[in-house]
Structure 1
Amino acid sequence: MSSIEKLRWCFFEAPRKFSAEAMELHCCRKGKSFERSITLKKQWGGLLIYVLMVVVSLTVAGQQQAFAQAPAGGAPAQTPAAAAPSTPQPLPNPSMTAPLSTAAPSHTFNAGPLGTVAITGILSGIGLVQSNYTLGFDKPTEWDVSNAQIFLQKTSGWFQFYLQAGAYSLPDLGVPYIRSVEALSSGLPTAVGDFYGPFPQGYVKLVKGNFFAEVGALPTLIGGEYTFSFENMNVERGILWNQENAVNRGVEVGGTFKKLTLAFTWNDGFYSNVYNWLWGSAAYAFNSSNTLSFVAGGNVAHTAPTNNPFATSTALNNESIYNVIYTYSHESLMITPYFQYTHVGANPAIGIGGSGSTTGGAVLLNYNFKHGISLAARPEYITSSSGLPVTDPAALSLIYGPGSSAFAFTATPAYQKGGFFLRGDVSVVHARNFTPGF
């Protein structure tokens, strides 16, 4: 029985003067015996606030207090002080989970008929040192801009919108690192060029009471982790995320009914530009601390291979996927266990010779200590099965070869002070029953 074990260390650092705030190819681990790789990553980053494309300033998402002094006895009453403005609240997008949080925007501008528009952003870098990298594709050392994005959004009124633009990378466990941008002469793939382009997300949102409709490039409803590194508990996405889509183009409608929130979407799945995916989500909030969600959907037809194998895996773009996600959040503790099942049916006409499925689970945990220090952890396990014998050349590989499985554990200590943060990933991935070359 062969196995692979991968150990990663990853660090995230923010500059001092900025405000807070999947590809089809699997990492080749050639060899029949135990292998170990060590990766050291350093990231510099922080969420930015831009002012009319000229000024970059810092905001601290802290509580503001106003104090009013009562008049002394016998003194004439003074004019009451004006009520202090309400504390600015973080914007709804991009979505963030613990421990990092977006800064409440201090800068907005009047966009004429569009109304008041807020502008925020992020700038971060990543450094990488690793062994057991993929020859001809990965590198033993790497420095890159992991995020250089701005976010424009209007969040009030019946007409709203969100636009995200810039450069990004998608660091992920178990697969080679793809740079955000690359010299054209290199011939290497890039995250911006081979995934979702310089405008990865953007949509128009129409709101009426508790109902909404969105049209555009939408963040997925699938899974327990978001797409970009700064949105998640950990710097890198996990091994369950490799089975999920990240961005899809389409239409989404939904609404809130007391404690129940529903959403339904028709979209192009794994960014295929073929609109034959349907899925829905239901989330029930028992109280402010406990929420249970169910997400299900998939390709209702069949989609042939595209010319974008990085964002649009042929097998995954023809799958069905199911999630059960529970979230507990109270004071300093957040726990999100989730279960995931996927199935891909056989379809030799589009190159899928045999069926396959995956079953996996993960627990996302974060605890905030005092003085801006926090610790996140993510144990996860995934296993796969094949409808054909694993020795059959047509057997479907969904992880590291037909019938393979993997365990991963990630720990992420973090420090945040106002708009600045420093965090690091330490993770291990152990694969079993893998096929050399996957």
Structure 2
Amino acid sequence: MNRFTTKKAPRTGSKLALTILPLAVLSTLAMVSDTAQAAPFALPAPLSFDAGPLGKLDVQGVLSGYGVWQDNKFAGSGNPGNKSASADISNGQVIIQKNSGLVQFYLQAGAYNVMTLGSSYFSTGTFTQNTFGALPVGYLEIAPTDNFNVQIGKLPTLIGAEYTFSYQNWNIERGLLWGQENAVNKGIQANYTMGPVTASLSWNDGFYSDRFNWVTGALTWAINKENSVFFQAGSNMGHTNFAYSSIATTPLQNNESIYDLGYTHTGANLVVTPYVQYTSVPASAIQALGAGTRKTSTFGAAILADYSLTDKISVAGRVEYISNSGTATDGAANLTGFGPGSHAWSLTVTPTYQDGGFFARAELSYVTASMQSGTGFSGTNGLAQNQLRGMVETGFMF
């Protein structure tokens, strides 16, 4: 199984969703051919070659670029997120893996960028250098049986319903709930499958902190070929309080506990994943970081979906809600970026065309937040409480 399609167990439903599509889209869906199939936005079949003593290796890759326009650009200068329009490389990556035999491995190298709703963003060069480096994912795998394996190295997270890199998802940008989830961690992970149940358990460094005090786990139950449920959890087993040089490590989230519960339905044309998320950071960690005085939590919910119009054209979307506990004056921390006591919504629509290794897609997203009077999250004066973005992304996969 290709690990980096968007249907990796235990993270069912890696495409995001929309519950209320524009009437024009709905009318188009009514006329769709019955031959359309819902399928993940995935890399084509790998190129294989004989590597002598290493055995058969598979090679895949992606080269893509994006353009973005946004109103209420972010304050400051020097970053693309501070501009109304910009363009850059979104992915320039090569993947080499060995997925047979007792000893296997996975290596993913190159440049990449990750953009998140409601947040500023960096150039691809800056983001790559200051997050997971030129080898964002790489691990050794020991697979004594088809049902059990152990992986060690730089691993994709077990938490959430989105993957890190844009080509792995149906939407170009990551969502609001993704902001509370880690993306890549260093550690060791065991995976076991027994019939319809898949379980994974990992000891790792959480939000790429180089402090190995996190435990994460995921459990997926495939009810039948169309329906499955999943539960994911993770927690810092201690406290981690020091200065980070990597923008991949967010100190508050690196001290949290997180729980996700969701369901995925996979039909002939439609994939839908609703899920809920709860996180909390203890008062002791918040006080140590100087971010407040009391325990703070977030609650989020999302519905994720993709509808295949034809075997080459699909429409994906996302609707999300997230809240930050507390008030502006009770010592709660700002976990979401919208402030204590805030509530935020997002809506994203992403039509996609894919023909073989070529793809092109457009995206329109909107974020709005209820925040304390006199505060905001965007705009040159920092007081805007909503943001509209339009994006395009195109490239080649092999």
Do the two structures share a fold, i.e. TM-score over 0.5?
Answer: yes
Does the residue aligned with 1:359 lie in a helix, a strand or coil? strand
Q: Given the superposition, is the C-alpha separation of residues 310 and 152 from structure 1 closer, same or farther in structure 2, using an over 3 Å criterion?
A: same
Task: Show the counterpart of 1:207.
Answer: 143
Task: Show the counterpart of 1:67.
Answer: none
Q: Given the superposition, is the C-alpha separation of residues 282 and 371 from structure 1 closer, same or farther in structure 2, using an over 3 Å criterion?
A: closer
| Structure 1 position 125 matched with structure 2 position 85 | no
| Structure 1 position 436 matched with structure 2 position 375 | yes
Task: Show the counterpart of 2:123.
Answer: 179
Distance 1:278 1:319 in 2: 11
Query: Displacement, 1:413?
Result: 0.9
Does the residue aligned with 1:134 lie in a helix, a strand or coil? coil
Task: Show the counterpart of 1:10.
Answer: none
Deviations 1:323-373 (A, max 9, x none): 002111021110011110000111223334322100011011111012511
Task: Show the counterpart of 1:375.
Answer: 315
Aligned partner of 1:370: which letter? Answer: T
Distance 1:144 1:290 in 2: 38
Task: Show the counterpart of 1:233.
Answer: 170
Unaligned runs of 5+ in 2: 8-13, 15-38, 378-398
- Percent identity, aligned pairs only, is 45
Contact residue 6 and residue 40 of structure 2 kept, 8 A:
no
Task: Show the counterpart of 1:104.
Answer: 45
Distance 1:143 1:377 in 2: 22
Task: Show the counterpart of 2:2.
Answer: 91
Deviations 1:119-156 (A, max 9, x none): 11000011122221112142222111110000000011
| Structure 1 position 414 matched with structure 2 position 352 | yes
Task: Show the counterpart of 1:12.
Answer: none
Contact residue 209 and residue 244 of structure 2 kept, 8 A:
no
Distance 2:6 2:132 in 1: 18
Contact residue 228 and residue 263 of structure 2 kept, 8 A:
yes
Task: Show the counterpart of 1:17.
Answer: none
Distance 1:177 1:128 in 2: 11
Structure-to-structure mapping, 1:7-406, within 5 angstroms: 91-93=2-4, 95=6, 97=14, 98-105=39-46, 107-136=47-76, 137=79, 138-181=82-125, 190-209=126-145, 210-308=147-245, 310-347=247-284, 348-353=287-292, 354-370=294-310, 372-386=312-326, 389-392=327-330, 394-399=331-336, 400-406=338-344
Query: Displacement, 1:95?
Result: 4.1
Distance 1:204 1:372 in 2: 35
Contact residue 99 and residue 368 of structure 1 kept, 8 A:
no
Q: Given the superposition, is the C-alpha separation of residues 310 and 431 from structure 1 closer, same or farther in structure 2, using an over 3 Å criterion?
A: same
Distance 2:328 2:196 in 1: 46
Distance 1:166 1:431 in 2: 35
Q: Given the superposition, is the C-alpha separation of residues 222 and 405 from structure 1 closer, same or farther in structure 2, using an over 3 Å criterion?
A: same
Aligned CA RMSD, in angstroms, stands at 1.6
Does the residue aligned with 1:202 lie in a helix, a strand or coil? strand
Q: Given the superposition, is the C-alpha separation of residues 433 and 135 from structure 1 closer, same or farther in structure 2, using an over 3 Å criterion?
A: closer
Unaligned runs of 5+ in 1: 1-89, 182-189
Deviations 1:159-183 (A, max 9, x none): 11100000000011110121111xx
Contact residue 269 and residue 277 of structure 1 kept, 8 A:
yes
Query: Displacement, 1:251?
Result: 0.3
Distance 1:371 1:202 in 2: 32
Distance 1:364 1:326 in 2: 10
Contact residue 206 and residue 212 of structure 2 kept, 8 A:
yes
Distance 2:312 2:5 in 1: 21
Q: Given the superposition, is the C-alpha separation of residues 217 and 371 from structure 1 closer, same or farther in structure 2, using an over 3 Å criterion?
A: closer
Does the residue aligned with 2:143 lie in a helix, a strand or coil? strand
Distance 1:126 1:377 in 2: 18
Alignment length (residue pairs): 337
TM-score with structure 1 length normalisation?
Answer: 0.74
Distance 2:4 2:352 in 1: 22
TM-score with structure 2 length normalisation?
Answer: 0.81
Deviations 1:26-70 (A, max 9, x none): xxxxxxxxxxxxxxxxxxxxxxxxxxxxxxxxxxxxxxxxxxxxx
Larger radius of gyration: 1
Query: Displacement, 1:437?
Result: 5.8
